[in-house]
A and B are shown apart, each in its own frame.
Chain A
Amino acid sequence: MISMIQFSDVLAWIHQLLSSCMAPWLVFLIELVVASVAAVVALLVCVIIMVYMERKVAGHMQLRHGPNRVGWHGVCQLFADIIKLLLKECFTPTRADKLLFVVAPVLSLCVSLLALAPISWGPGLVLWNTNIGVLFVTAISSMGVIGILMAGWSSNNKYALMGAMRSGAQIVSYELSAGLSIVAIVALAGTLNTGGIIESQANGWWILKGHLPAFFAFIIYIIASTAECNRAPFDLAEAESELTAGYHTEYSGMQFGIFYLNEYINMGVVSMVASTLFLGGWQPFYLPFDFGWAHAFNDIMALKFMETWPAWISWVSLAWPLVWFFGKLFLIIFFMMWFRWTFPRLRIDQLLKLEWKYLLPLSIVNLVIIALIVVLGLHF
């Protein structure tokens, strides 16, 4: 895709345009704000699609229709719900810790949005191109539990507190195997930079190139990240039948809405990380083999045939990495929804047993095997 227009060209062009008429610090400020708003808006659009998708997936998997009254097949249902949430009173219980109660949802929202910073959306399309990208995401996403603990503690409600405590135990445990499976891919790619990890998959995704251990790492990461997002079958922090609604029992109106939004943002971030590490982020599907038709296939996937086309058409190819990025994002999200609406909830002891007795040993062994593969150069 050498001759084609790249995101980095477009961004450099915008940067030049701004620099020609403004002071450098102003340019920096404007770029910072515009880029962050663009990332958040893109994520919010994803969240809107995810919420609709979740309700439809849930409906169809439970032999129901899902929303089908507001608009065509219920597509406007979410907007009706948002308006309802916005109009509702944000109620604070009398004996609650007022300050923490109000801060908790905002804090957890901030934390989950922070994790967006090092995500690479397309070639050269990254907010913060740092060499500790993946480390930053793991560090930030485990901070989400602080918001949940705050909400649970400040509500002055035993259900909320119990939900928050469970959530804490769960996130602390599952961090380990999520981290170990991330380390496995970092070992393969040899970098922590998200863009670098994606570029290292230019001849095939790690899930294919890394043989079976990479596939195991993928499965372990999906399980652990589902647990970190507090989603069913690991939704002990909410566990409707036991704890009414867990840590957000006392929240109403848009404060509840923020927790709800937060759950989906977390899901989005986790899926982005999973697609970056295992499924090649914005890289199209390449075959990691070295013979005739595999090359031809890879050329088609890289849109090589477009190089001879007129320049204005090649603008279309800008969208190609984004199509792959969001396609993978929604594929993983679909998996998580599929799990949620299929599996029964685990008990707290089963949950911890699954992590400490099964996932953690497996992921350690897996990491050792991956390390051997890297040292012996067995991967593609």
Chain B
Amino acid sequence: MKALYNYLKEVAFAFVSLANGLLLTLKYFVTPWKSIITENYPDNRANPSVADEFAGEVILIHDENNEHKCTACTLCQLACPNNSIQIISKQVETEDGKKKKVLDKWVYHLEMCTFCKQCIDACPQDAIKMTNSYELSCFDRSTLTKILNQPGSKLKEKPKVTAKVQE
């Protein structure tokens, strides 16, 4: 008796759960103006709605003083599975006579990038981010190799820790 009851319960439950799914798709079907999420690209090129999280081109963040945060540690270069990053650094001498490695060229090979975001995760300084640009194709391959640090830009100084943290 129990087995028969379970059998019938199973059948009834199956129909209920199927009906739930059917109602959902029917709702989508009869209200297309509400439910359709496809972007009408390129018809809506004038005002596209792209999510902020969309992972497009990698950029090096510069602030208003033309300063970036990249310390040329090359962690992003190591993290990139496609070798699309080349960090070229140079040695400079600071005022107090120390030798220091600073960023010379942040070379980004857009043509080899798969927008995997691993470089962003690897960067300890949060110096780079991905924009949500998506119209990246062009006719000349060489324009896809970009130098991301702007000319004349330099490393942002860390704010000096003056107050004593301990005590």
Whether the Cβ atoms of B25 and A342 lie closer than 8 Å is yes
Count contacts on B: residues with CB < 8 A to the other chain.
15
Whether the Cβ atoms of B18 and A60 lie closer than 8 Å is no
Whether the Cβ atoms of A343 and B29 lie closer than 8 Å is no
Q: Nearest A residue to B31 by beta-carbon distance?
A: A60
Known: A60-B29, A60-B32. A343 touches B38 (CB 8 A): no
User: In whole angstroms, how far apart are the Cα atoms of A339 and B26 in the complex?
Assistant: 10
Whether the Cβ atoms of A57 and B11 lie closer than 8 Å is no
Contact of A63 with B by CB under 8 A:
yes
Bitwise interface map of A from 336 to 364 toward B, beta carbon under 8 Å scored 1, else 0? 00110111000000000000001000100
Of the candidates A64, A341, A342, which one forms a contact with B36 in the assembled complex, judged by CB atoms under 8 Å apart? A64
User: In whole angstroms, how far apart are the Cα atoms of A117 and B25 in the complex?
Assistant: 35
Chain B at the A interface: SS class: helix
Q: Nearest B residue to A68 by beta-carbon distance?
A: B40
Interface residues in B72-107 (C-beta closer than 8 Å to A): none
Contacts of B152 in A (CB 8 A): none
Interface residues in B116-131 (C-beta closer than 8 Å to A): none
Contact of B21 with A by CB under 8 A:
yes
Q: Nearest A residue to B40 by beta-carbon distance?
A: A65
Known: A342-B21, A343-B21. A63 touches B26 (CB 8 A): no
User: In whole angstroms, how far apart are the Cα atoms of A45 and B40 in the complex?
Assistant: 30
Contact of B65 with A by CB under 8 A:
no
Contact of B54 with A by CB under 8 A:
no
Whether the Cβ atoms of A338 and B25 lie closer than 8 Å is yes
Contacts of A61 in B (CB 8 A): 25, 28-29
Contacts of B25 in A (CB 8 A): 61, 338, 341-342
Known: A57-B29, A358-B11. A63 touches B22 (CB 8 A): no
Whether the Cβ atoms of B28 and A60 lie closer than 8 Å is yes
Contacts of A64 in B (CB 8 A): 36, 38
Contacts of A362 in B (CB 8 A): 11
Contacts of A60 in B (CB 8 A): 28-29, 32, 35-36
Whether the Cβ atoms of B21 and A63 lie closer than 8 Å is no
Interface residues in A40-61 (C-beta closer than 8 Å to B): 57, 60-61
Of the candidates A63, A341, A342, A358, which one forms a contact with B38 in the assembled complex, judged by CB atoms under 8 Å apart? A63
Of the candidates B18, B36, B40, which one forms a contact with A343 in the assembled complex, judged by CB atoms under 8 Å apart? B18
Contacts of B29 in A (CB 8 A): 57, 60-61, 338
Chain B proximity of A296: nearest CB distance (Å): 31
Contact of B37 with A by CB under 8 A:
yes
User: In whole angstroms, how far apart are the Cα atoms of A339 and B15 in the complex?
Assistant: 12
Interface residues in B4-52 (C-beta closer than 8 Å to A): 11, 18, 21-22, 24-26, 28-29, 32, 35-38, 40
Contacts of A342 in B (CB 8 A): 18, 21-22, 24-25
User: In whole angstroms, how far apart are the Cα atoms of A62 and B29 in the complex?
Assistant: 8
A interface, size bucket: 10 to 19
User: In whole angstroms, how far apart are the Cα atoms of A62 and B32 in the complex?
Assistant: 10
Chain B proximity of A228: nearest CB distance (Å): 19
Q: Nearest A residue to B23 by beta-carbon distance?
A: A342
User: In whole angstroms, how far apart are the Cα atoms of A341 and B25 in the complex?
Assistant: 8
Interface residues in A194-248 (C-beta closer than 8 Å to B): none
Contacts of A65 in B (CB 8 A): 32, 36, 38, 40
Chain A proximity of B19: nearest CB distance (Å): 10
User: In whole angstroms, how far apart are the Cα atoms of A60 and B21 in the complex?
Assistant: 15
User: In whole angstroms, how far apart are the Cα atoms of A58 and B142 in the complex?
Assistant: 42
User: In whole angstroms, how far apart are the Cα atoms of A65 and B21 in the complex?
Assistant: 20
Whether the Cβ atoms of B18 and A63 lie closer than 8 Å is no
Bitwise interface map of A from 124 to 148 toward B, beta carbon under 8 Å scored 1, else 0? 0000000000000000000000000
Chain B proximity of A74: nearest CB distance (Å): 13
Bitwise interface map of A from 47 to 90 toward B, beta carbon under 8 Å scored 1, else 0? 00000000001001111110000000000000000000000000
Contacts of B38 in A (CB 8 A): 63-65
Contacts of B22 in A (CB 8 A): 338-339, 342
Whether the Cβ atoms of B26 and A338 lie closer than 8 Å is yes
Chain B proximity of A111: nearest CB distance (Å): 31
Contacts of A339 in B (CB 8 A): 22
Contacts of B18 in A (CB 8 A): 342-343
Contacts of A57 in B (CB 8 A): 29
Q: Nearest A residue to B28 by beta-carbon distance?
A: A61
Q: Give 10 pairs: A residue, B residue, CB < 8 Å, sorted on A.
A: A57-B29, A60-B35, A63-B36, A65-B38, A339-B22, A341-B25, A342-B21, A342-B25, A343-B21, A362-B11
| A contacts, CB < 8 Å to B | 57, 60-65, 338-339, 341-343, 358, 362
Task: With A65-B40, A338-B25 given, name 16 new contacts (CB 8 A).
Answer: A57-B29, A60-B28, A60-B29, A60-B32, A60-B35, A61-B29, A63-B28, A63-B36, A64-B38, A65-B38, A338-B26, A338-B29, A341-B25, A342-B24, A358-B11, A362-B11
10 nearest A-B residue pairs (beta carbon)? A61-B25, A342-B25, A60-B29, A60-B32, A342-B21, A63-B37, A64-B38, A61-B29, A63-B35, A61-B28
